[in-house]
Amino acid sequence: MSETPPNTLQYRLDGPEEAPVLILAPSLGTTWHMWDRQVPELAKQWRIFRFDLPGHGGAPAHPAGSVGELSARLLATLDSLGVQRFGYAGCALGGAIGIELALRHPERLASLALVAASPRFGTADEFRQRGVIVRTNGLDPIARTSPDRWFTSGFSAAQPAITEWAVQMVRTTDPGCYIASCEALAAFDVRAELGRIAAPTLVLVGSEDQVTGPAEARTLVAGIPDARLAVVPGASHLVPVEQPAAVTDLLVHHFSTAWQQPYDTGQLALPGAQVTAPLPTVPPQAVVPVAEIAPPAAAAPPADRADRYETGLKIRREVLGDARVDQELAGADRFSGDFQEFVTRYAWGEIWDRPGLDRRTRSCITLTALIAGGHLDELASHTRAALRNGLTPDEIREILLHTSLYCGLPAATSAFKVAQRIIQEETTPAE
């Protein structure tokens, strides 16, 4: 099979060619095989389109750093097949892509199902920290802990083959593409825009999901005008894998009753088979899903118009982290408040936002300047920032060695102590 172009996605198709197209989208670290249990039943009524995220499942490693870019690649792939209108079900990051499509390209979306999704996935700090760990230690620490995030403990114990499948699926993902996907989730926040989603929407969540659980699901239902909530008992984050029969029944019901016509299938051709690990066989589970209708809620207020302060605050949080910025802003009073506004507006909203240098380069310059000035407190926070901006511990070490030549050994000695402590804290995987 020919190489997938950088602006498209690796995909496969199942089901009758003349049927309306239904997209099943994966979560971070998984492949299209996470939907294997749903395909036989869904393919009776729909032409099933599944895709892999960049660098996942053997897909070409063309990193995409935003949810918008991922949705653009998906649309480019669909355009190449002549698919204009479709139904869409996405899990976690796949759900974020579905929300992006519903907001930016509503004319393409007939109906939507959001599985284990959220209008904002945790905090930006959490995903950028995960990127630091992968950049330093590779994907093995993330892979080994994935079953704890994805499945209930009872399922993992009863299904060791699926647990191992999950670990290997993450372990074989391209690290750079995984980090880029973390950055995409870190920047994703559509809480103020949910009221603009017009597609009929099913929000589906496992009752035991500790990643994006029922609370996040209810936020989606409260914000989306035409949304229903289904809570599947006995399931965690990868609910399509853990409770396949329940999820299949819910999707069949939703897309059978909420599909907005017309649709256009275009001319589709099944591509050559992709060699990725299929989901191991698991016995069917007799679990009846619980569906509930969330009460209506007022639409979220529109987002404020960004000015230099808002731009600066966003960049300041992305570089330094929410905890550090919250601490600095909380300490501001009548005496220092104007200074904090000045720093946010000018340093972060003007200088750090200039297009002439990327953030990695700005981190290199900042570390050097702080070492030369002996500003060790700021050096600690900017060492963390350098890791978040993509510098590796080895690169930071080289910067410190270089500054020891030009800034003096005493300054470099102090800098090494600070940087060593921060790097150890930031790159040690959680047990």
The DSSP secondary structure of 323-349, one letter per residue, reads HHHHHHHHT--TTTHHHHHHIIIIIII
Verify that 264 and 322 share a domain, yes or no: no
102 occurs within a structural domain:
yes
Domain that holds residue 254: 11-292
Verify that 28 and 171 share a domain, yes or no: yes
pLDDT at position 266 is 37
pLDDT in tens, 354-385: 988 989 899 999 999 999 999 998 999 999 99
The mean pLDDT value for 200-206 works out to 96
CB 391 within 8 A of CB 426: no
pLDDT at position 356 is 87
Residue 282 pLDDT greater than 90, yes or no: no
302 occurs within a structural domain:
no
**Taking the complete model, does pTM exceed 0.75, yes or no?**
yes
276 phi, psi to nearest 5 deg: -135, 160
Instruction: Please choose, from the candidates 230, 236, 237, the residue with its C-alpha nearest in 3D space to the C-alpha of residue 203.
Output: 230
pLDDT in tens, 146-171: 999 999 999 999 999 999 999 999 99
Q: Among 240, 265, 292, where does a domain finish?
A: 292
pLDDT at position 277 is 75
Q: Cα(396)–Cα(391) distance, rounded to whole angstroms? A: 7
Residue 242 pLDDT greater than 70, yes or no: yes
Q: Among 292, 319, 349, where does a domain finish?
A: 292
pLDDT at position 104 is 97
User: What proportion of the chain, given as a percentage, has pLDDT over 90?
Assistant: 75
Concatenating the DSSP letter of every residue in 175-223 gives: HHHHHHHHHHHHH---GGGGGG--S-EEEEEETT-SSS-HHHHHHHHHH
The total domain count for the chain is: 2
Verify that 134 and 159 share a domain, yes or no: yes
Instruction: Write the CATH number for 143.
Output: 3.40.50.1820
Q: Cα(161)–Cα(159) distance, rounded to whole angstroms? A: 6
pLDDT at position 271 is 38
The mean pLDDT value for 293-316 works out to 60
298 occurs within a structural domain:
no
Residue 395 pLDDT greater than 50, yes or no: yes
Residue 189 pLDDT greater than 90, yes or no: yes
Residue 293 pLDDT greater than 60, yes or no: no
Verify that 418 and 329 share a domain, yes or no: yes
Task: Between 306 and 200, name the one with better pLDDT.
Answer: 200
202 occurs within a structural domain:
yes
pLDDT at position 388 is 86
Verify that 209 and 316 share a domain, yes or no: no
pLDDT at position 162 is 95
pLDDT at position 305 is 36
Verify that 203 and 280 share a domain, yes or no: yes
Task: Between 184 and 262, name the one with better pLDDT.
Answer: 184
Task: Between 181 and 331, name the one with better pLDDT.
Answer: 181
Q: Which two tokens stand for residue 143?
A: 């892979």
Verify that 29 and 145 share a domain, yes or no: yes
301 occurs within a structural domain:
no
Task: Between 413 and 265, name the one with better pLDDT.
Answer: 413
The mean pLDDT value for 40-59 works out to 97
215 occurs within a structural domain:
yes
Q: Would you place residue 276 in the very low, low, confident or very high pLDDT band (cuts 50, 70, 90)?
A: low
303 occurs within a structural domain:
no
Verify that 190 and 314 share a domain, yes or no: no
Verify that 188 and 98 share a domain, yes or no: yes
Verify that 249 and 278 share a domain, yes or no: yes
Verify that 16 and 116 share a domain, yes or no: yes
Q: Among 265, 292, 319, where does a domain finish?
A: 292
Concatenating the DSSP letter of every residue in 232-286 gives: ETT--S-HHHHSHHHHHHHHHHHHHHSPPSP---------PPP--PPPPP-----
Instruction: Write the CATH number for 360.
Output: 1.20.1290.10
Verify that 283 and 361 share a domain, yes or no: no
390 occurs within a structural domain:
yes
Q: At what angle do helices 376-388 and 308-320 cross, to 10 degrees?
A: 90
pLDDT at position 366 is 96
Q: What is the mean pLDDT of the chain?
A: 88
Amino acid at 223: G
pLDDT at position 355 is 86
Residue 290 pLDDT greater than 90, yes or no: no
pLDDT at position 272 is 35
pLDDT at position 2 is 52
pLDDT in tens, 89-111: 999 999 999 999 999 999 999 99
Listed range (97-101, 125-129, 200-204) with the worst mean pLDDT: 125-129
